Structure 1
Amino acid sequence: MRPRSIVFDLFGDYIRYRGGAARLRSISALLDCFGVGDSTVRVVMARLCKEGWFDAHKSGRETVYALNSDSLRMLDEGRDRIFNPVREPWDGQWHMVIYSVPEAERSIRDQVRKELAWLGFGALASSTYISPHDRLRQISEHFANEPAVRLDLLTCQSGGVDTDREMAARCWDLESLNADYTEFLTTYEPRLGQYRRGALTPMEALVERTQLIYDYRKFPFRDPDLPLELLPQRWVGRRAHDVFIEAHDLLQEPAESYVDTVINQ
């Protein structure tokens, strides 16, 4: 795990619910559990402040780092994608984005692609993305003030479920994703009994829970939350999510107790 990723996980899962700010020495003590040294913590926090993710101020001789509106919004968006997958029945409609960006604006074109992928759209063609979920408004609002981006937004249906499945297979590498879900299950499903028994110390629970989040976090940004009728046979993505939620909940109390002990010292 990268130190900056650990920082965001600690603030996103714990510190934000304890005032949203922590002293540098508390942050260092928490990252010490992951083998991250004090000097690295100082560099990481200074860099995150420079990038605009944290605000810093002095409290006596100590530096305090606090989440700001940008980091809170980013954490909220990420948490929603991880913990609230779409489970509603599909109406058979595809929502399509056809975008056009001048050749000279390549960086903006990359931003469009990243935003579409973030919202669960898949590339049907080079400048045509589709999703079974209606997130056209989010796309339109995101690029409303970007004159270089032209968007054509449509809602349509295919000729039938066989065509829908073929389109889904073209837009997303579902077999590879399913293999990675299977690997996640192989790692964490056998550990549930240990978590239920409370076999881990509070510090071990914090490290384990952070690793759990780190290992699962990639999935919501690769998985478009396709309706059941579009998924391949033997799909294990939903079972992997259930295991993640159970493990995350089981480890919560001991992990939080360790965080409380550190930040209250």
Structure 2
Amino acid sequence: MIVSFFGSYARDVGGWIGVSDLIALMSGLDVDGPAVRSAVSRLKRRGLLTSERLGGVAGYRLSDQGRRILAEGDQRIFGHRVARVQDGWVLVVFSVPESERHRRHALRTQLTRLGFGTTAAGVWIAPAHLTEQARAVLRDLGLEEHAELFHASYLDFRDLTASVARWWDLPELQAMYEGFLDEHEPVAAAWRRRGARALRSPEERATAFADHLRAVDAWRRMPFLDPGLPPELLPDRWAGSRAARVFFELHALLHGPGLEHVRAAATLGPDDSWR
């Protein structure tokens, strides 16, 4: 939730926020102060946040690494690119020595987080638009010498739809999207009925902030598990498309009022240069 806050709001107000203000904002989402302090401490140890005092107020600022990671995440979370069959596939074929098994595990983990499926041991597949992300993972792990990248077209004897169902756990992805819809589709419908006029009061903007941040926090992992497979290869009544519409509707409607709430709730006094 704290990562989602810094990604959705902190960058829009300079990348810094006071600890007490952050605790107050998170209390509106039923997150208590000790949990906030514990979370920001972990993020600091991971190098995503740095401690900084402004105007005598203790707070945290996004590090350069944190900004880079969030910027990379933006491309996937808000880009939501859907592949086309005619654009082909990227294959990552690797054979990492047993002596480097820790890096082999890291590669598998990173490819999974990119949304790759597996066709066979050491052969991973994704829509072609993930080629550069796969190349970056191999480079970051120093495994270029143990892997090869291919751009491929599907020429097998099996039906491609059936093969995709073997390469990815589509029921698990469907259940993931259905869970998102169960929680957030009623929220979107309620805001739709209220209309923009309901966002004028401080109380409504506080509710908008909470509803928006919950939606972002639930959604942000999903584009990393689903690579945006071509719609014609997916089961009927695929929930992913509807989930995307609900998320982007909530984001478009609630982010602005939520940002107003953050700016009004987080004040520093004479040295509020973070604004």
TM-score bracket, normalised by the shorter chain, equals 0.7 to 0.9
Structure 1 residue 75 and structure 2 residue 78: aligned?
A: no
| Residue 242 (structure 1) aligns with | 245
Query: Shift in Å at residue 142 of structure 1?
Result: 3.1
Which of 136-145 and 149-158 deviates more? Answer: 136-145
Q: Distance in 2 between matches of 1:147 and 1:226?
A: 26
Query: How many corresponding residue pairs?
Result: 260
Which of 122-131 and 54-63 deviates more? Answer: 54-63
TM-score, length-scaled by structure 1: 0.87
Which of 141-150 and 220-229 deviates more? Answer: 141-150
Candidates 231, 238, 260, aligned match of 2:234:
231
| Residue 50 (structure 1) aligns with | 45
1:105–1:148 CA contact under 8 A, matched in 2:
no
Q: Give the match's secondary structure for 2:90.
A: strand
Q: Deviations over 1:141-165 (max 9, x none)?
A: 4333615860122222223695321
Residues 103-252 of structure 1 correspond to what in structure 2 (within 5 A)? 103-144=98-139, 146=142, 150-159=146-155, 163-196=159-192, 197=194, 198=198, 201-252=204-255
- Given the superposition, is the C-alpha separation of residues 141 and 184 from structure 1 closer, same or farther in structure 2, using an over 3 Å criterion? closer
Q: Which has the higher contact order (CA 8 A, sep 6+)?
A: 2
- Given the superposition, is the C-alpha separation of residues 107 and 232 from structure 1 closer, same or farther in structure 2, using an over 3 Å criterion? same
**Ranges in structure 2 where 5+ consecutive residues have no aligned partner:** 269-275
Query: Shift in Å at residue 79 of structure 1?
Result: 2.1
Structure 1 residue 32 and structure 2 residue 35: aligned?
A: no
- Given the superposition, is the C-alpha separation of residues 43 and 243 from structure 1 closer, same or farther in structure 2, using an over 3 Å criterion? closer
Runs of 4+ in 1 over 6 A off after TM superposition: none
**Ranges in structure 1 where 5+ consecutive residues have no aligned partner:** 1-5
Name the aligned partner's letter for residue 157 of structure 1.
S
Q: Distance in 2 between matches of 1:183 and 1:147?
A: 36
Which of 99-108 and 181-190 deviates more? Answer: 181-190
TM-score, length-scaled by structure 2: 0.84
Q: Deviations over 1:102-154 (max 9, x none)?
A: 21222211211122123221111121101122433432343336158601222
